[in-house]
Structure 1
Amino acid sequence: MKKLLPLVLLGLTGCGSVYQVQPDDPYYAPLIPEMPEAQMVLTGSMFQDVTAQNLYSDIKARRIGDIITVNLVENTKANKGAKSELDKETSVEYLAPTMFGRPVTIGGNTLDVGIDNTTEFEGESKVNQNNSLLGAISVSVVQVLANGHLVVRGEKWITINQGDEYIRLTGIIRPEDVTADNNIASTKVANARIQYSGTGSAHDTQTPGWLTQFFNSPIWPF
């Protein structure tokens, strides 16, 4: 038993360890497209077709490496209530047996048997949840799908005193939803994954220890 105790504590420590998010995650790093070599044609003129821009083209993001600003306007609210009532009453009575027309007695007492059972249950639950996230984050295009939709991904880190706060976002957008100044609302990002959290001492003080997490976990039998 003494040999198993350290192994149990070691397993609990491993289960309670929390992955620490670090900046500069390669998954959220922007893709920098390779710059093609310009084929300069000596024509004696300052105008070159390979570097010229169309006067009627816009500057909206549509290629890998382009940057789009996502305005975070998330606001969700959920209300749920439930009430249950259960009443159950059971009554059973057995008459005393008779012999020769007279009730059978033991010590002068008849053998009547009666059982009464009453069960009552009442439960009520209410859930109110509100979430709001406002801000902005600039992400880069990492993939252009066959239908023209853009896969975007990016992160932003802010260091405040001894702690860091970060926002990470991934999703798919339509080029038509991007404004002329390369902005889009987060509500128009499909399959959006938005993470807003922090690291450091301020965040650690709000996280319970591994032993507390174990006692609050579903595997605790009591």
Structure 2
Amino acid sequence: MRVRRSDAAKFLSLAASGALVACTHAPGPISMVKPAEFPVAVAPQTASSNGSVFPDATSGSLYEPRRDWRIGDLVTINIVTSATANDTDNASLSRKGTITNTLTSFMGVPLNFGSLNGTPFSPSINAASNQTYAGAGSAAAASNVTGQIEAVITHIDPNGTLALAGRTNVNINGNVTSIVVTGYASPDDIAANTTISSNNVADMNVQYVGNGPINDAHQVPWLQQILSKLWPY
């Protein structure tokens, strides 16, 4: 049985196409940031009773420009944090010492052990030391974060202080950047448009975290980390 050249060429082309299809990986699922659940359970608003205009749980004076904040309300935090630190240390130490002592006689008895070319041998001590140390060190750090984050009131202390917590996620081609902010604020520092500067937030905690291929490129491989700790040179 003879096989035509055209049939053989078709068979080889089909086999090559099948091999390329088998080696080609299907694209994986798109990495998406899932919406987070609301961080706190919001209680229903207390209804007014006896024809009152305001609920019974309302606190503060009616003449003050203060809003009755409740758990679950939203506050916009304007992040304007900036920090710079510099530290320089220089130290130096120098010490020199010299000892010279010659013993020629003891209780009137000369101490010598012969001579060489007219120079007598006698016990003598000569010692010298010289120590020098110099050290220098410096450190510098700077950070600057700006932006706006919508935070949620998660707790209200008995004195009226508000606990805030907010987060924002940005996903660009699988590289996720997250900014998490927590802190405590006074209702008096919140403006009428429900915004507050981060300079007025106590115990301010800003975390800027990245996750994805770009962040992985900045990480030292685990084997290299082990070798750098165990390698003696």
- TM-score normalized by the length of structure 1: 0.70
Tell me the CA shift for residue 130 of structure 1.
1.4
2:125 is aligned with 1:113: yes
2:98 is aligned with 1:91: yes
Q: Give secondary structure in 1 for the equivalent of 2:220.
A: coil
Q: Which moved more, 1:103-112 or 1:151-160?
A: 103-112
Match of 2:77 in 1: 70
Provide the rounded CA distance (Å) in 2 between the counterparts of 1:172 and 1:131. Answer: 21
Per-residue CA deviations over 1:100-127 (Å, capped at 9, x if unaligned) read: 2243459875442312111111111222
Provide the rounded CA distance (Å) in 2 between the counterparts of 1:146 and 1:106. Answer: 99
Identify which of 35, 38, 63 aligns with 2:44: 35
Per-residue CA deviations over 1:153-178 (Å, capped at 9, x if unaligned) read: 12111101121000111111000001
Provide the rounded CA distance (Å) in 1 between the counterparts of 2:99 and 2:126. Answer: 6
Per-residue CA deviations over 1:53-105 (Å, capped at 9, x if unaligned) read: xx989785711000111111011111211111100112222324546224345
Identify which of 185, 193, 200 aligns with 1:173: 185
Identify which of 154, 175, 184 aligns with 2:196: 184
Q: Give secondary structure in 2 for the equivalent of 1:204.
A: helix
Q: CA RMSD in A?
A: 3.7
Identify which of 198, 204, 213 aligns with 2:216: 204
After superposition, where does 1:16-55 map in structure 2 within 5 Å? 29-35=38-44
Match of 1:5 in 2: none
Per-residue CA deviations over 1:149-204 (Å, capped at 9, x if unaligned) read: 00111211110112100011111100000111111111111111110010011101
Distance change >3 Å, CA 104–CA 167, structure 1 → 2 = same
Tell me the CA shift for residue 37 of structure 1.
8.5
Provide the rounded CA distance (Å) in 1 between the counterparts of 2:112 and 2:35. Answer: 91
Q: Percent identity?
A: 23
Provide the rounded CA distance (Å) in 1 between the counterparts of 2:54 and 2:183. Answer: 33
Amino acid at match of 1:30: P
Amino acid at match of 2:78: N
What is the total number of aligned residue pairs between the two structures? Answer: 190
Distance change >3 Å, CA 221–CA 192, structure 1 → 2 = farther
- TM-score normalized by the length of structure 2: 0.67
Distance change >3 Å, CA 160–CA 97, structure 1 → 2 = farther
Match of 2:205 in 1: 193
Q: Which moved more, 1:88-97 or 1:207-216?
A: 207-216
Provide the rounded CA distance (Å) in 2 between the counterparts of 1:78 and 1:179. Answer: 31
Higher RCO, 1 vs 2 (CA within 8 Å, ≥6 residues apart): 1
Provide the rounded CA distance (Å) in 2 between the counterparts of 1:130 and 1:214. Answer: 30
Match of 1:163 in 2: 175
Distance change >3 Å, CA 37–CA 117, structure 1 → 2 = closer
Q: Is the 8 A contact 1:60 1:182 kept in 2?
A: no
Amino acid at match of 1:89: K
Provide the rounded CA distance (Å) in 2 between the counterparts of 1:63 and 1:38. Answer: 14
Distance change >3 Å, CA 145–CA 216, structure 1 → 2 = farther
Provide the rounded CA distance (Å) in 2 between the counterparts of 1:80 and 1:174. Answer: 34
Structure 2: segments with no counterpart, 5+ residues: 1-32, 56-61
Provide the rounded CA distance (Å) in 2 between the counterparts of 1:220 and 1:65. Answer: 53
